[in-house]
Amino acid sequence: MIGGTKAILGLTASLLALGVSAASAQDANVKLGFIGGITGPIESLMPPITAGARLAVSQVNEAGGIGKNGAKVDMVIGDDGCVDAARASDAGDRQVNSEKVAGIVGAMCSGATIAAANAAAIPGGVVMVSPASTSPAVTELKDNDLVFRTAPSDAYQGEVLARVVKRNGVENVAVTYVNNDYGTGFAQAFQKAFEAEGGKVTVSSAHEDGKADYRAEIGSLASSGADALVVLAYVDGSGGRIIQQARETGDFSTFIGGDGMVGANLTNVTGGDEKLILTRPGGSAAAGAELFATAAKGVDLDPGATYAATSYDAAFALLLALEKTNGSREGVSAALREVASAPGEVILPGEWAKAKQLIAAGTDINYEGASGSLEFDAQGDVPGSYDEVTVTDGKIVVVGPAQ
Same domain, 47 and 186: no
Query: 360 lies in a domain?
Result: no
Same domain, 206 and 308: no
Query: 371 lies in a domain?
Result: no
Q: What is the CA radius of gyration of the chain?
A: 23
Domain extent at residue 101? 26-152+286-337
Count of domains for the chain:
2
- Residue 327 sits at the vertex; the CA angle it makes with 111 and 311, to the nearest 5 degrees, is 40
Q: What span, in angstroms and rounded, lies between the C-alpha atoms of 386 and 284? A: 9
**What contacts 166, CB < 8 A, 6 or more positions away?**
194, 197, 198, 199
Same domain, 190 and 102: no
Query: 368 lies in a domain?
Result: no
Q: Identify the CA nearest to 347 among candidates 368, 378, 362.
A: 368
pLDDT value at position 16? 40
Contact 52, 10 (CB under 8 A): no
Query: 71 lies in a domain?
Result: yes
Query: 375 lies in a domain?
Result: no
Strands, DSSP E only, in 69-165?
A: 73-79, 103-106, 128-130, 147-149
**Across-strand partners of 105?**
34, 129
Q: What span, in angstroms and rounded, lies between the C-alpha atoms of 15 and 183? A: 57
Q: Using alpha carbons, list the distances in angstroms from residue 303 to 54, 178, 284, 306, 402.
A: 13, 28, 10, 9, 18
Contact 332, 103 (CB under 8 A): yes
Question: Mind listing the pLDDT tens digit of every residue in the chain (403 residues)?
Answer: 333 334 434 444 443 444 433 333 445 899 999 999 999 999 999 999 999 999 999 999 999 999 999 999 999 999 999 999 999 999 999 999 999 999 999 999 999 999 999 999 999 999 999 999 999 999 999 999 999 999 999 999 999 999 999 999 999 999 999 999 999 999 999 999 999 999 999 999 999 999 999 999 999 999 999 999 999 999 999 999 999 999 999 999 999 999 999 999 999 888 778 999 999 987 667 889 999 999 999 999 999 999 999 999 999 999 999 999 999 999 999 999 999 999 999 999 999 999 999 999 999 999 999 998 999 999 999 988 889 999 998 899 999 888 7
pLDDT value at position 28? 81
Query: 62 lies in a domain?
Result: yes
pLDDT value at position 283? 66
Same domain, 266 and 395: yes
Q: What span, in angstroms and rounded, lies between the C-alpha atoms of 291 and 316? A: 13
**Could you tell me the CATH number of the domain that includes residue 304?**
3.40.50.2300
Same domain, 37 and 134: yes
**Across-strand partners of 276?**
255
Query: 83 lies in a domain?
Result: yes
Same domain, 84 and 230: no
pLDDT value at position 284? 67
The half-sphere exposure of 335 on its side-chain side, counting CA atoms within 13 A, is: 23
Same domain, 187 and 177: yes
* Cα dihedral value 40, 43, 47, 52, nearest 10: -70
Same domain, 38 and 148: yes
Q: Identify the CA nearest to 217 among candidates 232, 227, 228, 206.
A: 206
Query: 51 lies in a domain?
Result: yes
pLDDT value at position 51? 98
Q: Using alpha carbons, list the distances in angstroms from residue 211 to 279, 291, 319.
A: 25, 42, 40
Same domain, 104 and 117: yes
SS3 399: strand
Same domain, 54 and 144: yes
Same domain, 160 and 234: yes
pLDDT value at position 290? 94
Same domain, 89 and 103: yes
Contact 369, 339 (CB under 8 A): no
